[in-house]
Amino acid sequence: MAPRPYLLAESNWKTVKETEYDVAVLPWGATEAHNFHLPYNTDVAECDYIAAESARIAWEQGARVITLPTVPFGVNTGQLDIKLDINLYPSTQAAILNDVVDALTRNGILKLVVLNGHGGNDFKQMIRETQAFYPGSFISQVNWYRILDNAAYFDKPGDHAGEMETSVMMEIAPDLVRPLDEAGDGAARTFKVAALREGWAWAERDWSEVTESTGVGDPYASTAQKGARFLKDVTEKIASYYVELAAVNLEALYE
């Protein structure tokens, strides 16, 4: 397969030094258990695919997007007791983000999209702080799993390793998906406290208390066809953002 020019991992110095990039994309996943049927690299595999496909679409429309390698570890502080769930504390993430932005701005790349694929990650406050130290830069976060109305694609989308994620993985990495009859049902306990249960108050969930399978959401109606339809729409939506962002003048960003 020929190198894809919108992926830094496949690019070489000859190509990179001759290309003016408009937007950098930093996919950020996690390494964690996903029920009994999905692999630990689910969030990474999803980020890899969605980042590459959305960059391809944008590149073919003229946006010079460069996608960085996916960061494979995320915030898993609610899962510290689950074997080999690899945790990065938010302060560690902030340091990594800062160093990436430093490298990009030194090369004149001022537009960065953090493409997030893990619910435990939240870059908003990190972006506020990092951008303050790099005047003229523009950093944004996209949570790919929140872009669309997932209920329009899946009967029971689920929160973690449910129908949405399972369908996506069936499409992009079917060899890594175990038979669904091996999956847990994704049943999850909820908070007893009403405000937390209703969602207007927030606290981190203790994952081992919430779910026995590490999954939250029923995966049994998952199909690759559902995953393909969802991925097509989500990558096209993300690509449209890259195209607009590539074209906009950061000194005239507001209408």
d(CA 149, CA 23): 26
Beta carbons of 22 and 111 less than 8 angstroms apart = yes
Say which amino acid occupies 10. Answer: E
Q: How far is CA 72 from the centre of its chain?
A: 10
Count H helices, E strands: the chain? 8, 4
Residue 5: the pLDDT is: 97
Tell me how far apart the alpha carbons of residues 100 and 117 are, in angstroms, rounded to a whole number: 18
Separation between Cα atoms, residue 162 and residue 156, nearest integer Å: 7
Q: According to the model, what pLDDT value does residue 208 have?
A: 96
The verdict on residue 179 lying in a domain is yes
CB atoms within 10 A of CB 102: 13
2 lies in a domain?
no
CATH of the domain at 224: 3.40.50.10310
What pLDDT sits at residue 1? 80
Residues of the chain below pLDDT 70: none
* pLDDT of amino acid 132: 96
**pLDDT recorded at residue 240:** 98
- Domain of residue 158 covers 8-252
Q: What is the pLDDT of residue 69?
A: 98
* Tally of structural domains, the chain: 1
Q: Flag whether 210 is in a domain.
A: yes
Question: Within a domain: residue 80?
Answer: yes
1 assigned to some structural domain: no
